[in-house]
Amino acid sequence: MTYAIQAEGLVKRFGETRALAGVSLTADAGTVMGVLGPNGAGKTTMTRILATLIEPTEGTARVGGFDVCKQAHQVRQLIGLTGQYAGVDEMLTGTENLVLIGRLLGLSRRSAKARAKDLLERFQLTEAAERAAKTYSGGMRRRLDLAASLVGDPKILFLDEPTTGLDPRSRNGLWDIVRGLTRDGVTVLLTTQYLEEADQLADDIIVIDRGQAIAHGTSDQLKAQVGGQVLEVAPIHEADADTIARVVGDLADAVPEVRGGLVSTPIPDPAIMPAVVRRLDEAGVVVGELSLRKSSLDEVFFALTGHHTDDIDAEAGELAQAADKEGASA
């Protein structure tokens, strides 16, 4: 069968840097493919290749059955793209932005206007329709951007970090829109730094880091892949945390994470619990808290990439702040 999106061994070099180091993926029609990874992982590069904006250095990709390099024009007739930075003309009104795209896609002036009106209504932008896009809030801009990518009724939609920098309410609104689109049969490739977003929307998730796919599956499969359970131990005396980390790490054959006197370790098998207790007793550590729980996607991410999503969230927070400042000064 043909996939809506099919990429094989995508490599992209920019001079010395290798943004993508051989990523493959497939997405069935009508599903949401989540591409999860930190900043600089190669998500945007991959999206740009699939959306025909750049050509891969190596590898091939087909979108809607067409080769993204050799049949780019056909691919462009099937796709919609919403980039990381809202690609709307700030000088034009909401209506003009959408009419512009409609006209470029070959609609008559009248149909382009009708289409713009429908989309603005659907994205709750009717009131702002005749205002220049530069007066829009971040959330409104993203909605207008998404509307612009839907003017041509795309079969396949690329959303590159559509919610980065958005407040929770706008984010939920955007999620609903994406769900609605998949119900209409649209295939979505969504990149995100947020595990929750991938968890909420994606049928299938590929985790990429430093240009490489390091895991692939549904969110449940990913959770299971890294053990699925986490042992948390907190000593009475915080100084004992290192000892605990050594003991548990040894038994679980994993790298524990120490944070504020709490040692968390992904474990493959709960059966090691008695051994953990015995060894800690022998080492003379008094344990204040000991618990076993299912691992969160955050831990999955950490186990796979070696860094936390918190680091990314902090970065994203700064970016959002910077964007706010920019918005305020504009």
Residue 144 and residue 95: Cα distance in Å, rounded?
9
Residue 31 and residue 201: Cα distance in Å, rounded?
9
Q: Which CB sits closer to another protein, 53 or 273?
A: 53
Q: For residue 60, what are the CA distances in angstroms to 37, 43, 63, 98, 178?
A: 21, 16, 10, 32, 27
Q: Count Cα neighbours of 150 within 13 Å in the Cβ-side half-sphere.
A: 24
- In the block, which residue shows the tokens 């429908």? 118
Q: CB neighbours of 171 closer than 8 A, spacing ≥ 6?
A: 163, 197
CB of 187 to another protein, least distance (A): 15
Q: Which CB sits closer to another protein, 104 or 314?
A: 104
Q: Which CB sits closer to another protein, 166 or 252?
A: 166
CB of 180 to another protein, least distance (A): 11
Return the exposure string of 261-296: e unless at least 16 CB atoms fall within 10 Å of the residue's CB, then b.
bbbbbbbeeeebeeebeebbeeeebeeeebeeeebe
Name the DSSP letter for residue 254: S
- Contacting residues toward another protein, per CB under 8 A: 14-15, 48, 51-54, 71, 73-74, 76-81, 83-93, 96, 100-101, 103-107, 111, 114-115, 117-119, 122, 132, 148-149, 152-153, 184
CB of 151 to another protein, least distance (A): 9
CB of 134 to another protein, least distance (A): 9
Q: Which CB sits closer to another protein, 71 or 296?
A: 71
Q: Which CB sits closer to another protein, 96 or 298?
A: 96
Contact between 323 and 166 (Cβ < 8 Å): no
Name the DSSP letter for residue 86: -
Q: Which CB sits closer to another protein, 242 or 324?
A: 324
Q: For residue 20, what are the CA distances in angstroms to 157, 210, 287, 293?
A: 21, 7, 45, 35
CB of 169 to another protein, least distance (A): 23
CB of 306 to another protein, least distance (A): 30
Name the DSSP letter for residue 107: -
Contact between 276 and 251 (Cβ < 8 Å): yes
CB of 104 to another protein, least distance (A): 5
Q: Which CB sits closer to another protein, 101 or 276?
A: 101
Q: Count Cα neighbours of 200 within 13 Å in the Cβ-side half-sphere.
A: 18
Q: Which CB sits closer to another protein, 72 or 275?
A: 72
Beta bridge partners of residue 267, listed in sequence order: 229
Contact between 240 and 224 (Cβ < 8 Å): no
Q: Which CB sits closer to another protein, 281 or 326?
A: 326
CB of 91 to another protein, least distance (A): 4
CB of 60 to another protein, least distance (A): 19
* CA gyration radius, the chain: 23
- In the block, which residue shows the tokens 């993203």? 142
